[in-house]
């Protein structure tokens, strides 16, 4: 490693940077296809590097997951901010849920990440807390607007969302199979 010219921070060699990018791309592909429990050696093989290279860059599964999904988690938090600022709470909540469930349907790794708990993924812990605050803020507004019953709690909604989120991969597969069957001669 060499020292950066401006800030004194270590800078990786070009091949190390390339390997890191290959690992991130491969991890995203594998996590999308197989979920977060996918074998790390499959990721290393797909990236064209050895397991030692993977562990040199990402010493834990949590570190790899955090690096792969940090940007998409930030996008979820941005959607939450927009939802909180919506002129009416119902529009905010439904728009937020469309973004969240769209991500859950498109990417099995994101689905696993958002509907289970994985220790050590700092960006995930931040998005879970942000999600809780977003739903709580919107429910408070909905109650004030008289749009939702007073006894509906944030935990009720979050539990329901988690249950629905876990069903999304099966629903997505069923929809794809139905569409494929409809287009078959």
Which CATH superfamily groups domain 9-59? Homeodomain-like (1.10.10.60)
Between residues 4 and 148, the one the model is more confident about: 148
For the chain, where do the domains classified as CATH 1.10.357 start and end? 62-176
- Which tokens is 8 given? 């004194």
User: Which fold would CATH assign to domain 62-176?
Assistant: Tetracycline Repressor; domain 2 (1.10.357)
pLDDT-derived band at 127, boundaries 50, 70, 90: confident
Three-state DSSP class for residue 44: helix
Q: Tell me the pTM.
A: 0.68
Phi, psi of 12 (to 5 degrees): -80, 150
Residue 17 CB coordination number (10 Å): 12
Three-state DSSP class for residue 8: coil
Separation between Cα atoms, residue 176 and residue 2, nearest integer Å: 49
Q: How far is residue 43 from each of residues 67, 78, 111, 117, 163, measured CA to CA in Å?
A: 14, 29, 18, 21, 28
Q: What is the DSSP letter of 150?
A: T
Q: What is the pLDDT of residue 172?
A: 59
For the chain, where do the domains classified as CATH 1.10.10.60 start and end? 9-59
Residue 132 has pLDDT above 80, yes or no: yes
Of 64, 57, 51, the residue nearest 18 (C-alpha): 57
Separation between Cα atoms, residue 155 and residue 104, nearest integer Å: 20
């Amino acid at each position: 490693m060499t020292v950066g010219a401006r800030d004194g921070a270590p800078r990786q060699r070009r091949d190390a940077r390339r390997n890191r990018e290959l690992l991130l791309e491969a991890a995203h592909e594998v996590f999308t296809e197989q979920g977060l429990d996918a074998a790390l050696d499959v990721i290393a093989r797909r990236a064209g590097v050895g397991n030692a290279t993977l562990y040199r860059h990402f010493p834990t599964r949590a570190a790899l997951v955090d690096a792969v999904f940090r940007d998409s988690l930030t996008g979820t938090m941005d959607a939450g901010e927009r939802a909180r600022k919506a002129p009416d709470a119902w529009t905010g909540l439904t728009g937020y849920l469309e973004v969240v469930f769209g991500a859950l349907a498109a990417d099995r790794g994101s689905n696993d990440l958002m509907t289970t708990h994985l220790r050590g993924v700092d960006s995930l812990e931040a998005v879970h807390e942000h999600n809780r605050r977003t739903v709580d803020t919107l429910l408070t507004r909905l109650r004030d607007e008289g749009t939702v019953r007073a006894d509906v709690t944030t935990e009720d909604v979050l539990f329901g969302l988690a249950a629905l989120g876990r069903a999304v991969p099966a629903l997505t597969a069923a929809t794809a199979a139905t569409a494929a069957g409809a287009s078959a001669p």
